[in-house]
Amino acid sequence: MTELKRIIKAGFLNFKRSGLISFAAVLIVTITLSFVTTIIILQSVLYFSLNNIKDKVDITIYFNVGAPEDKILSLKDALVKLPEVADVSYTSDKQALDLFRSRHENDYPTIAALDELGTNPLGAYLNIKAKDISQYEGIANFIKGDNPVMSDYTNIIDKINYNQNKLVIDRLNSLIAGAHELGFLITLILVIISIIITFNTIRLAIFISRDEIGVMRLVGASKMYVRGPFMVEGVIYGIIATFATLILFWPVTFWLGRNMTNFFGFNIYDYYISNIFQIFVINLLFGVFLGIVSSFLAIRRYLNK
């Protein structure tokens, strides 16, 4: 414990004594964490947009006009039990007619033609939401397949709109998979670049103390005792940079939230505030990891001499 206290104290003294070099290292780590935070926010925008698109994708089963409601509701109950299905909503023929009138309220010829019919030409339908975008094809195959469950309902089904939506669903599925891969690749590249830049900055700070390191080695100081203060210094860089990044993004996200909400589709400032603890933890862990690893690697050459 005594040695640990000395190492921590020496780390703070090194940080204070380095002055401009310490400021430069903190600045580099802050820039790196700013990129990390930017990626987190951009990914939230991307996933929000994708989820909005996913919410609009479904499979709709249209029934024949006059199909018995009890059979339709029985099919709904059967579909809800499928493990891939998240939700099934029922729209009656009367509701379908009201929705049609609402959508075409300014289309007077269409409304007039509908009134002349005197009857409801629309049938009821079921909207099916899958738990995952990749599960729609399996649900569609079940509905169109020859199985005991669907055999009782084929005579009341008019059409299923899966084929019209299949292209959109497949593209959306590919887009989601590509977004995950791209996010991982960008993060990996960022980590590598960050370690290289931070490593070189910290190596400069250690270079200034090379004579002191040499003396410590000559008098028999252990490698951990020599390395420890610089690793503590790296932790300090990460902690200060984390708070600096959070403070920096506070006005940035506030401006974006006030002026760019319509463009992004949601309020970035509200997202930032509601997730600030998670962002803080990610930045802190990444910043401290960056400082420790960079310090550990930078001092190796002086310990191996």
pLDDT classification of 249: cutoffs 50, 70, 90: very high
Q: pLDDT for 175-196, tens place per residue?
A: 777 777 777 787 778 777 777 7
Q: Residue 228 has what pLDDT?
A: 76
242 vs 119, more confident: 242
SS3 127: strand
133 vs 280, more confident: 280
167 vs 249, more confident: 249
What order of strands is seen across the sheet that includes strand 125-130?
Answer: 85-91, 125-130, 59-63, 157-160
242 vs 133, more confident: 242
Residue 74 has pLDDT above 80, yes or no: yes
Residue 163 has pLDDT above 80, yes or no: no
pLDDT mean over 163-182: 70
- Any alpha helices (H) in 161-260, and if so which ranges? 162-208, 210-218, 223-259
Residue 87 has pLDDT above 80, yes or no: yes
Residue 142 has pLDDT above 80, yes or no: yes
pLDDT classification of 220: cutoffs 50, 70, 90: low
Highest-pLDDT range among 51-60, 124-133, 155-164, 292-301: 124-133
Burial code (b: 16+ CB inside 10 Å, e: under 16) for 45-73 equals bbeeeeeeebeeebbbbbbeeebeeeebe
Tokens coding 35: 């990129």
Residue 305 has pLDDT above 60, yes or no: no
pLDDT classification of 281: cutoffs 50, 70, 90: very high
- Residue 159, judged by CB atoms within 10 A of its CB (0-12, 13-18, 19+), counts as middle
Please identify which residue in the block is written with the tokens 């940080």. 15
Distance CA(91)–CA(193), nearest Å, equals 54
Structural domains of the chain ordered from first start = 2-53+172-303 (no CATH), 58-164 (3.30.70.3040)
Distance CA(91)–CA(241), nearest Å, equals 55
pLDDT mean over 156-169: 74
Q: pLDDT for 89-109, tens place per residue?
A: 999 988 888 888 888 778 788
Q: pLDDT for 5-64, tens place per residue?
A: 877 777 777 777 777 777 888 888 888 888 888 888 887 887 787 777 777 778 888 898
Distance in Å from the first CA to the final CA of the chain: 28
Closest CA to 75 of 145, 129, 125: 125
